[in-house]
Structure 1
Amino acid sequence: MEKLYLLCNAHLDPIWQWQLNEGIAAAISTFRTAAELCEEHEELVFNHNESLLYKWVEQYEPELFERIHNLIKKGRWHIIGGWTLQPDCQMLSGESFVRQILYGKNYFYEKFGVEPKVAVNFDSFGHTRGLVQILKKSGYKYYIFMRPDPSTEGFTDLPQIFHWKGFNNSEIIAYRLNTGYNTGFGNAAREIERYITENRDKRIAMRCWGVGDHGGGPSNKDVKDIKKLTEQYKDRVEIIHSDPEQYFNEIDSSQLPAVEKGLGPVFPGCYTSLIRIKQKHRSLEGKLTTAEKMAAAASLLKPGIYPYKELQQAFDALMLIQFHDVLAGTCTQQSEEEGIRIADYGLELAERICTQAFYTLLSGQHKADEGCIPIFIYNPQPYEITDIFTCEFMLAGQNWSNKTTIADVFYDGIQIPSQIIKEDSNISLDWRKKIAFCAKLKPMSMNRFDLRLNLSDYISQINLEYGDRYIFENEEIRVVLNMKTGLIDSYFADNMEHLKLGGCMLEVFEDVADSWLMHTNKLDTSAGCFRLMSPNEAREFAGVENINFKPVNIIEDGNVFVEIEALFRYNNSFSRISYRFPKTGREIAVSVTLYFQEKDKMVRLVIPTNMEDADFFGQTAFGIEKLDSTGVESVSHRWLCASNQNHSLVLINNGVYGSSNKEGVIRQSLLRSSGYCVHPIENRSLFRQDRFLARADQGERSYQFWLCSQPESKWIAYAERASQIKNEPPYIVSAFPSGRGRVYNKLMEITETVRLDCFKRAKKGEGFIVHLFNPLSITQTATLRCPILDIHHIFDMEPYEVKCFLLSSKVIHEVDFLENPSV
């Protein structure tokens, strides 16, 4: 070895075994120590990323912040990474990664005038392949990571440094830390010397050192010991305190191997542990995307009302819960609750932004006619949406008569299919109502529906005599529900059967207390399944006195859908599944509620497709990943698909990530009742055995799925669009407009097979930013129309390409993710 670059750092988790207030204290003390040592030892260079930590120092100890600023100017303190923090790198949407980078880099450039070229995620548990394009279009040249490490199954032969290729064939140089990111207190010189000995065949090398996890960074002893080691090796190896860019500048990248896959799975328990955090995260991602699109649309009509501050605060909340030990579910119970509280803060901000934008976009709608109740649905997507929508509303007064109020729904004077369904309230009075209707929404427009009310003697008559099988048919599908098991035995569409018996079974698998699931990537030992309750069990569980109450019941039946409820039990746990079969279309809605009380178990929703030769696919950040088909726990986002050359079955979700797929069977992971923040340490017991210790995800958890068959040629377009609609739903309110203003429709339209992931005001306040993603494996020509800005732009998109545009009146420019002109 001729030269060794030392990368002094201090990996610091804002939340993990501790809560945020302690993380703030650790960050400040760590930075203070690092600054003191840099000032004392002129050879030392300290490296750190994560703008969140610098913000804390700036806010709580501004004198220290100024010292750091001076050290950066002198080259003694180096900003690496440049992200807001080190998030989970498997479960974030592509747009979430963009914001982690955009807001982090903006901060560092504004405060210090620097823009890092080396991205760093030392501690994250695997890395999606979609990161490559994001990094490339954010100005990065290099990426440093640690996991999967050399012992991870499937990655034992992964090169330490390589060209990492993304879905769209973009490339970045990636470097794996084979020795970890820290050296422990007082051990730095010994670890560095060992590294030199074990890597003597390398001409140049890089080694991280410092104290990690709860701050620490460099210590005075370690700095002095390294100084002695440097003097000892001065005639053999040049040891340099440095930053990673100096190392990469000496690398000959022309001969590096190429890697064309995602860097995972790693610790696959993280894809399901602490499911509430994951559901809140998905909900906040979707709500914020909708809020931003609505705010941008509203500011097209009224410039100057864009809520920059509120959106930034909401994104700050989202980015904080994306920290890898929070979103991955490996933190303590107290930190879980803190994460949920932070997510709820972001959701409340997003809701207020939507409300403000909604009333701006309501402009020009005429006053309600006498006796009519208007329902308005704003479609934030730049394409038409056809779906089933529900909305609650109040009657003008309480109806104490023996008659019931019914409502017909009209769109542009034409009646559309609708049905009154059970409202959320349980007050036994005809007063609060809920209606479901099937409608088509204009793209990026306010859509109006008028309800006309009537009193009727009609009382819904639901047939309770259905034998052993309930058969549902419409023009597209035929579904058979087994009334003895409560499961779907047949789903027939396009002249073929798509399911085997027992669809939507909840199967339980043996698990362990390890939050990460460090020592295996499969949980395939079945511990049984939820069985249909007996009538007595069902009555007791539901708390009803009706002696005819059954464990399977039709609870809604009208012009829009049939809904059937089934109740199940497993040991001390219970579950409720409801199926909504549409009167038009083929998409089955499946709602699952678990009341779970087991320990060291995993629960999965099982979809046994009729395709034993199926390949499995899942959505990831700006890409589609072919998933493992041998039962290894995999990660994906809004949808899963089992597909062969003939047909495909798509399962959309609104907040789960893990799955295990094999022999044509989709097994979507719902929860793990593992421990909080526990993993193996040598041969020690995972849990203390002298007290009660809480387990994760005990109690009530709810999930929503949509199951739909598609021809092989159409499933990607369907999965991408439908999953966006379900996770970024239109904004629905029953409201009475003033009648003033002007109506604006179709504020933006984009080719239907292109996904709009971002529509917002530019960071400098001049114009609008849009991010468009091509989810197809082929090049397509797309069109973007924005009539209010007088823009009609036609362009080509390569497979899996993301394009970013800056829009202003009559002008459109391509930019990168940092909103700078694209090179």
Structure 2
Amino acid sequence: MHENQQLTIGRVTRVLEERLRPAIHAQPHPLELARHTVGGEPIPVSEGIAASFEPMPAGSTWGRAWDTTWFRITGEVPAAFAGRRVEIVADLGFDVNMPGFQAEGLVYRPDGAPVRSLNPRAQWIPVTPEARGGESIEFYIEAASNPVLLDYHPFLPTEQGDSATATDEELYRLRRVDACVFEEEVFELVHDVEVLVQLAQQLGADSARRSRILRALDKALDRVDLQDIAGTAAAGRAELREVLTSPAEPSAHRLTAVGHAHIDSAWLWPLRETVRKVARTSSSMVTLLEEDDEFVYAMSSAQQYDWLKRERPEVFARVKEAVAAGRFVPIGGMWVEPDAVLPSGESFIRQISYGQRFFREEFGVECRGAWLPDSFGYSGSLPQILVGAGFDWFLTQKISWNQVNRFPHHSFLWEGIDGSRIFTHFPPMDTYNAQLSGEEVARAARQFKEKAVATSSLAPTGWGDGGGGTTREMLARGKRMADLEGSPRVVFESPDAFFDRAMAELPDPAVWRGELYLELHRGTFTTQHKTKQGNRRSEQLLAEAELWGAVAAVRAGYAFPHDEVDDLWREVLLLQFHDILPGTSIAWVHREAEERYAEIARRLEAIIADALAALGVDLDDVSAAGRSDAQRTLVNSAPVTWNGAPGAAVSLRPTPVPRAARREGDRFVLESEHVKIEIDGNGHVVSAVDLALGRDAVPPGERGNLLQLHQDFPNMWDAWDVDAHYLDMRQDLDSGAVVDLDGAAVTVATSFGESSIRQRLFLADDGRTLLIDNTVEWAETEKFLKLAFPVDVFADHAVAETQFGVHSRTTHTNTSWEDARFETQAQRWFLVEEPGFGVAFLNDSSHGFDVQRVKQGDRVSQLARFSMLRAPRFPDPRTDRGTQTMRFGVLVGADVGSATEAAIRLNTPARHATGAVVSPLATSTNPAVVISAVKLADDRSGDVIVRLYESRGGRARTEVRLDAPGLGTISRTDLIERPVEAESVATTVDEETITVTLELRPFEVVTLRLSR
């Protein structure tokens, strides 16, 4: 019996693929094709349609990498097609196995109206649902010849990832452009057969249901004449009616299919190409919505809607109509789908505030849930941010990619570092590009962890990345599985409808505490350093521009440039997309990102200078040289004490702690009243003593500031991954350095391989922090550079800053979960600490680090290492090549509080200036409560927003002093500045100063609104 079953499956599969599917489009009639090639950047649609075209026969090659070719299709519907549905089949040289990763097109009518996309999985263009015969045919295709960078043998280095280095070879060969009859009955037969044979393959060999299905399929194929498929398709379908109408079991899993196309805002293509990918996919999806009343499509990322509005208004108009009808559903509530560990907490809030503002203003809706299926791990701070911004639910799928440990839930409550909880769903189908195949649907039901108490899961359904989104074939499969014995029930509905049902099914779900660490893609904490550096600097400049702008507006009537700052925020938020900020895009994307960051910095520096000038502070080319202490001013925007003065917008006279640098024999010494640092003749830190405690942070005989170089060739995803085997190949760069004294600093110069590094070691103005400025001429290939510091502390955990708080990592590997976290990330610092003594490691742009437990004799210590640079070859073959700069800090005698303050100072350097001394607008009396933002309200009312958070993980009471004229009432808002019902804010008023008393739970974020 089993052998006969396999024979039937073999027969059905061959007939389906070789005879039935090709018969859907019949009676091909060749059409005339002409082309117009556009080198470089795309041209407007009107110009493309009006261009001069030259004839192009089938079989011709076309399309250099990143060029655009406009095709014109002309002809006439044959008289023989009268009464039939007519479609054009246009194969531009597609590979059906590579949707989203090769050539794509958008079809237009002669008047410029978009029709639908053309791609490997949708090679058809609708002409007429019922032909008269003799109608003229005229269509235009804007075709992008995107090079195939992710091929069957992926991750080979390629120069095709940048227009500046791509070849001139034409990449595609046109196969056919034919008018055809669409055989609807054959289409239906194909999907009857396909769904049933795929279902049978998922059922047990001894299943009666399987036997009945295969018998019906045998009988159906006996009724189909392969030389007259269209004429006999109905007879074949009749044999399948009984097995197709047998209903599902009452307990069958319920699968919500959400039409979707996960379109990376940049990746193996530049940002400008994503604009067109979104337009192509959206056009097809609106057309499909018009053709199928049950279909619901969902698209995330306000940025992608905004691109349509600005660049493709004809597509946006159709999308807007479909949104109003409730069929095209905005989801996610964010500007883009960002990386979910690297941006600052304030950036996450702005992703939501700018995203929700767009959806509210353009469509009159706000999204109820966060949609991040493809980010590379998720910070434990996110639950508080999502709940605090008004979200009800969260969806991701990426954790199913874990290399080692299988995540134990699919529907659960995710608890953040502050105790906030949000209902979370991981689609058990393990994909965000579902096709609704029998195998996928069965997998969803089989893997669903909560099946004992719930029945519902979600499947984002459609080809992503320009692959065209949901297809009519997927809809056909879904309809047949709506109520089919042996299969989960499939229903097309919105994500909100799914989450409402899922939450009702699980009133008391399991809880997962803390971050969602992805056991993969650990290299993204380090790859493409200049992109990460640009993001960090942009975040800080935005915070400074908003702070000084708010102070100047309140105290000096400064006209804050809302429009420009909004534009700059949106630009930074775009560049935080989860394949840009992590460093995993082609060279073109990162080259452009660096250029954009430079322009962002230029514009923000001008805004900061203007705001300070309104306050009487001059930054114009002012240097400290030649000025007396009475003339010099330091402009401080850090929200912590700086040189003895409170933070959150203040200018002050500088009073740095005295420091000394000297040579003692064969060693160099940096010293203040707080610490003494000794550096040997190879530039290694051999002693770092906290003078108050008499405690040396460096274990006896060990060396800090030790460069270590590893072989770095991961198993698969080059730019993304660092695999554990990299630890087995290490070269210590511990000799040959040139070390010298330069004023108050020690300089170290070292060469290795094809690269070199220059370091400058000196004590910061606080007299406690050893700063290490690094300039690296990086020319390595497939190497990983670390900077190591042995630390003489006994610790089971390393603590690292995350958004609005901290998370911890074990330094041991007792379990597979701990062992898998051999590389991790921090925001601005990480700390190894035992009771009474710790060492913090600060960075200005580098997120990756690791801490290893070391046993020598009877002493247990820790080896803390900054991750400096990588050199993967795909998708950018010259990743990080060239000059790289970064600053690190080592704070001896640290705890969480001092690490936070020192890292803020390192990332918020004071500016030299002349002019007035400006007092702070907002201060917190409890240093554990950090002010993270001072800004004008988003609604442009002139009200002031102050955001603060508890930074150390304990309950905290603080008084927030607000010193500004014209302030009125004070209220609490949610994170995106909407009023919330909460306990009244306790305030006292003294002339022009208002003091607010707050009680904060561990890591709580509070937003205050000060009316004017």
1:750 corresponds, among 924, 933, 949, to 924
Q: 1:291 to 1:363 in 2, by over 3 A?
A: closer
Distance in 2 between residues matched to 1:115 and 1:169, nearest whole Å: 25
Map of 1:566 onto structure 2: 748
Deviations 1:143-166 (A, max 9, x none): 001121164334x14211111111
Map of 1:796 onto structure 2: 999
Q: 1:221 to 1:284 in 2, by over 3 A?
A: same
1:677 corresponds, among 875, 881, 885, to 875
Residue pairs, 1:115-134, within 5 angstroms: 115-134=366-385
Distance in 1 between residues matched to 2:808 and 2:270, nearest whole Å: 37
Q: 1:33 to 1:443 in 2, by over 3 A?
A: closer
Task: Using the TM superposition, give the Cα deviation of residue 191 of structure 1 relative to its aligned residue in structure 2, in angstroms.
Answer: 5.0
Task: Using the TM superposition, give the Cα deviation of residue 181 of structure 1 relative to its aligned residue in structure 2, in angstroms.
Answer: 4.1
Task: Using the TM superposition, give the Cα deviation of residue 182 of structure 1 relative to its aligned residue in structure 2, in angstroms.
Answer: 4.0
Deviations 1:388-413 (A, max 9, x none): xxxxxxxxxxxxxxxxxxxxxxxxxx
Task: Using the TM superposition, give the Cα deviation of residue 586 of structure 1 relative to its aligned residue in structure 2, in angstroms.
Answer: 2.0
Map of 2:522 onto structure 1: 268
Q: 1:284 to 1:8 in 2, by over 3 A?
A: same
Q: Do residues 233 (structure 1) and 484 (structure 2) align?
A: yes
Q: 1:799 to 1:603 in 2, by over 3 A?
A: same
Q: Do residues 806 (structure 1) and 1005 (structure 2) align?
A: no
Report the AA paired with residue 355 of structure 2: G
Task: Using the TM superposition, give the Cα deviation of residue 309 of structure 1 relative to its aligned residue in structure 2, in angstroms.
Answer: 1.1
Map of 1:6 onto structure 2: 257
Deviations 1:106-136 (A, max 9, x none): 1101111111111100111110110000000
Map of 1:93 onto structure 2: 344
Q: Do residues 445 (structure 1) and 625 (structure 2) align?
A: no
Distance in 2 between residues matched to 1:625 and 1:148, nearest whole Å: 18
Q: Do residues 502 (structure 1) and 703 (structure 2) align?
A: yes
Query: Structure 2: any 5+ residue segments left out of the alignment?
Result: 1-251, 813-820, 854-861, 968-992
What's the secondary structure of 1:216's corresponding residue? Answer: coil
Map of 2:213 onto structure 1: none
- Seq. identity, %: 23
Distance in 1 between residues matched to 2:326 and 2:671, nearest whole Å: 71
Distance in 1 between residues matched to 2:919 and 2:892, nearest whole Å: 32
Report the AA paired with residue 674 of structure 1: P
Report the AA paired with residue 283 of structure 1: R
Native 8 Å contact 2:441 2:487 kept in 1: no
Distance in 1 between residues matched to 2:1010 and 2:725, nearest whole Å: 47
Residue pairs, 1:758-769, within 5 angstroms: 758-766=933-941, 767-769=943-945
Task: Using the TM superposition, give the Cα deviation of residue 440 of structure 1 relative to its aligned residue in structure 2, in angstroms.
Answer: 5.4
Report the AA paired with residue 429 of structure 2: T
Map of 1:716 onto structure 2: 896
- Calculate the TM-score normalised by the size of structure 2: 0.65
1:161 corresponds, among 411, 414, 424, to 411
Task: Using the TM superposition, give the Cα deviation of residue 321 of structure 1 relative to its aligned residue in structure 2, in angstroms.
Answer: 1.1
1:520 corresponds, among 698, 711, 723, to 723
Map of 2:174 onto structure 1: none
Map of 1:257 onto structure 2: 510
Native 8 Å contact 1:116 1:140 kept in 2: yes
Q: 1:441 to 1:129 in 2, by over 3 A?
A: closer
Residue pairs, 1:40-439, within 5 angstroms: 40-149=291-400, 151-154=402-405, 156-183=406-433, 187-191=435-439, 193-195=441-443, 198=446, 203-230=455-482, 233=484, 238-251=489-502, 252-265=505-518, 266-303=520-557, 305-362=559-616, 374-386=631-643
Residue pairs, 1:613-692, within 5 angstroms: 613=795, 615-630=797-812, 632-663=822-853, 664-677=862-875
Distance in 2 between residues matched to 1:658 and 1:647, nearest whole Å: 23
Map of 1:423 onto structure 2: none
Map of 2:140 onto structure 1: none
Distance in 2 between residues matched to 1:771 and 1:586, nearest whole Å: 28
What's the secondary structure of 2:261's corresponding residue? Answer: coil
Distance in 1 between residues matched to 2:952 and 2:441, nearest whole Å: 50
Task: Using the TM superposition, give the Cα deviation of residue 598 of structure 1 relative to its aligned residue in structure 2, in angstroms.
Answer: 2.0
Distance in 2 between residues matched to 1:3 and 1:462, nearest whole Å: 70
Q: Larger relative CO (CA 8 A, sep 6+): 1 or 2?
A: 1
Deviations 1:289-329 (A, max 9, x none): 11111111111123351111111111112111100101111
1:772 corresponds, among 937, 941, 948, to 948
1:489 corresponds, among 670, 686, 706, to 686
Distance in 2 between residues matched to 1:499 and 1:222, nearest whole Å: 62
Deviations 1:539-567 (A, max 9, x none): xxxxxxxxxxxx111011xxxxx201011
Q: Do residues 706 (structure 1) and 889 (structure 2) align?
A: yes
Q: 1:132 to 1:243 in 2, by over 3 A?
A: same
Native 8 Å contact 1:314 1:345 kept in 2: no
Distance in 2 between residues matched to 1:605 and 1:807, nearest whole Å: 45
What's the secondary structure of 1:503's corresponding residue? Answer: coil
Map of 1:408 onto structure 2: none
Map of 1:725 onto structure 2: 905
Q: 1:59 to 1:127 in 2, by over 3 A?
A: same
Q: 1:787 to 1:227 in 2, by over 3 A?
A: same
Distance in 1 between residues matched to 2:322 and 2:501, nearest whole Å: 25
Report the AA paired with residue 680 of structure 2: N
What's the secondary structure of 1:59's corresponding residue? Answer: helix
What's the secondary structure of 1:806's corresponding residue? Answer: strand
What's the secondary structure of 2:845's corresponding residue? Answer: coil
Native 8 Å contact 2:481 2:488 kept in 1: no
Report the AA paired with residue 641 of structure 1: L
Distance in 2 between residues matched to 1:675 and 1:107, nearest whole Å: 38
Distance in 1 between residues matched to 2:341 and 2:721, nearest whole Å: 16
Report the AA paired with residue 409 of structure 2: P
Pairwise CA RMSD of aligned residues?
Answer: 2.7
Map of 1:819 onto structure 2: none
Report the AA paired with residue 321 of structure 1: L
What's the secondary structure of 2:532's corresponding residue? Answer: helix
Task: Using the TM superposition, give the Cα deviation of residue 195 of structure 1 relative to its aligned residue in structure 2, in angstroms.
Answer: 4.1
Native 8 Å contact 1:150 1:157 kept in 2: no
Q: 1:610 to 1:237 in 2, by over 3 A?
A: closer
Task: Using the TM superposition, give the Cα deviation of residue 178 of structure 1 relative to its aligned residue in structure 2, in angstroms.
Answer: 3.2
Q: 1:63 to 1:166 in 2, by over 3 A?
A: same
Native 8 Å contact 2:384 2:421 kept in 1: yes
2:770 corresponds, among 588, 591, 596, to 588
1:552 corresponds, among 692, 717, 739, to 739
Q: 1:247 to 1:449 in 2, by over 3 A?
A: closer
Report the AA paired with residue 777 of structure 1: G
Q: 1:466 to 1:295 in 2, by over 3 A?
A: same
Q: 1:179 to 1:675 in 2, by over 3 A?
A: farther
Report the AA paired with residue 689 of structure 2: F
Native 8 Å contact 1:268 1:521 kept in 2: no
Q: Do residues 530 (structure 1) and 720 (structure 2) align?
A: no
Distance in 1 between residues matched to 2:671 and 2:955, nearest whole Å: 38
Native 8 Å contact 2:346 2:932 kept in 1: yes
Native 8 Å contact 1:590 1:705 kept in 2: yes
Q: Do residues 600 (structure 1) and 799 (structure 2) align?
A: no
Native 8 Å contact 1:314 1:347 kept in 2: no
